Amino acid sequence: EAQVTQNPRYLITVTGKKLTVTCSQNMNHEYMSWYRQDPGLGLRQIYYSMNVEVTDKGDVPEGYKVSRKEKRNFPLILESPSPNQTSLYFCASSPTGPILQETQYFGPGTRLLVL
Amino acid sequence: GDSVTQMEGPVTLSEEAFLTINCTYTATGYPSLFWYVQYPGEGLQLLLKATKADDKGSNKGFEATYRKETTSFHLEKGSVQVSDSAVYFCALSDVLFGNEKLTFGTGTRLTIIP
């Protein structure tokens, strides 16, 4: 089944404790992206990647890191989480990116609480 | 920069009512426009899209027409069902600036009452 998977689905952590949220797609998509969803703000892009070893900042990259060593994986890293990073996070992928009007496929989301 | 403005929710309708969710946008290039739907506990799914002015996207009884003159992409459905209860997001991607991301509106929560 074609899908985007994220792990973990739920995570409670404390300020400053490094964490990684994994994202994997099995559709051989070139483009991958991370969003955070907050009430009243909709979805905002954190980082995106056009292909392996190519990443770029979205609208709200501060406090996050990403890497794209393999085509299928795009982990989101919080080196030192803070309470303002409490949010619902979505990973998405598409064959070549929204600029070609292709559908983006979203993962199920990771709900993060930073105490 | 690019932006998307959606009508504020939540919206509550009775089953079989007519639905309109307003969406207007600001973009400097030639955006493509999308409606995504998020069912409870799930990720977003593409509902429909339109890539140029006067295009109409349609899916599952929903329709939206790309109106360049009014910079709008309103979502409509003639007869809603309980299963349409979800959060709806309007979004755009701007081709001119090579902007490789979607810009989303804040979402409109729709609840359909039997």
Given CB atoms, is B11 within the 8 Å cutoff of chain A? Answer: no
CA dihedral A50, A55, A57, A61 (to 10 degrees): 130
Mean per-residue pLDDT of chain A: 92
Q: d(Cα B51, Cα B68) in Å, to the nearest integer?
A: 11
pLDDT score at B88: 96
- How far is it, in rounded angstroms, from Cα B33 to Cα B71? 10
Residue A71 has a pLDDT of 96
- Whether the Cβ atoms of residue B97 and residue B28 lie closer than 8 Å to each other: yes
| Spatial distance between the Cα atoms of B75 and B36, rounded to a whole number of angstroms | 11
pLDDT digits (tens, 9 = 90+) for A28-39: 999 999 999 998
Q: Which pLDDT belongs to residue A2?
A: 81
Return the pLDDT at B98.
53
Q: Which band of pLDDT confidence, cut at 50, 70 and 90, is reported for residue A104?
A: confident
Q: Which of A34, A48, A99, A111 to mutate to test the interface with B (most CBs of B within 10 A)?
A: A99
Nearest residue to A18 via CA among A72, A70, A63: A63
- The answer to whether B59 contacts chain A (CB < 8 Å) is no
The answer to whether A90 contacts B102, with C-beta atoms less than 8 Å apart, is no
From first to last of its 114 residues, what are the pLDDT tens digits of chain B?
789 999 888 999 999 999 999 999 998 877 889 999 999 888 889 999 998 899 999 999 999 999 999 999 999 999 999 999 999 999 988 765 555 678 899 999 999 999
Instruction: Supply the pLDDT for residue B95.
Output: 61
Q: Is A88 on the interface with B (CB under 8 A)?
A: no
Q: Nearest to residue B17, comparing CAs of B92, B58, B77?
A: B77
A97 lies within 8 A of chain B by CB: yes
Q: How far is it, in rounded angstroms, from Cα B42 to Cα B109?
A: 14
Cβ-nearest to B101 among A48, A101, A108: A48
Average the pLDDT over each of A28-32, A102-106, A110-114 and give the range with the smallest value.
A102-106
What is the least distance, in Å, from the CA of A106 to any CA of chain B? 6
A36 touches chain B (CB under 8 A): no
B10: tokens are 């939540």
Query: Is A106 in Cβ contact with B93 (below 8 Å)?
Result: no
